[in-house]
Amino acid sequence: MKLGGRQLAVIKLLWERGEMTIAELQGALDVESPLAYSTVATVLARMEKKGLVTHRDEDRTYYYRAAVSQERAGQTMVGEFVERLFGGKPSELVNHLLDSDQVDSKELQRIKTLVQQHEAKLKKQEGRS
């Protein structure tokens, strides 16, 4: 699932607000230069072809909503990112983050907690097999 900058901005708004018209999206998009109505309509049409959004028609107005969940999109995009940049090795991504200035002691503790929770989840699943 590839989302360009405009598409990502649109789907984030739809996740946040639910259904929106083209005019509502046009007004809410936080981009450097305002997008024309027709540009927003084109972005939505392309996203609909990809199965990312759907619409309903009410009184000749289209109301768009996300067709994929934020969780599913995130998992797919992160998976593709890890594959392309780190050869499919999540540990390389983690190593890269830990080597950066982005992880302070508070964030490191949160990561440790998440790892422990994931380990417990995996052990529970393995116990059922």
The span from the CA of 14 to the CA of 71, in Å, is 14
Supply the mean pLDDT for the chain.
91
Q: Confidence class of residue 31 from pLDDT cuts 50, 70 and 90?
A: confident
Element holding 79 (H helix, E strand):
helix 70-86
3-state secondary structure of 66: strand
pLDDT of residue 52 exceeding 70, the answer is yes
pLDDT of residue 129 exceeding 70, the answer is no
pLDDT of residue 1 exceeding 90, the answer is no
pLDDT computed for residue 18 by the predictor: 94
| pLDDT, mean of residues 46-75 | 93
| pLDDT, mean of residues 31-50 | 90
Q: Where are the beta strands (DSSP E) in the chain?
A: 53-58, 61-66
Residues 6+ apart with CB under 8 A from 13: 20, 25, 28, 29
Q: Which two tokens stand for residue 83?
A: 């594959």
Q: Would you say 11 and 76 are in contact if contact means Cβ atoms under 8 Å apart?
A: no
The answer for 101, left when phi > 0, alpha when psi is -120 to 50, beta otherwise, is alpha
pLDDT of residue 23 exceeding 80, the answer is yes
pLDDT of residue 102 exceeding 70, the answer is yes
pLDDT computed for residue 112 by the predictor: 93
How does pLDDT run across 65-93, given as a tens digit for each residue?
A: 999 999 998 888 899 899 999 999 999 99
The span from the CA of 8 to the CA of 111, in Å, is 26
Task: Give 66's strand partners.
Answer: 53
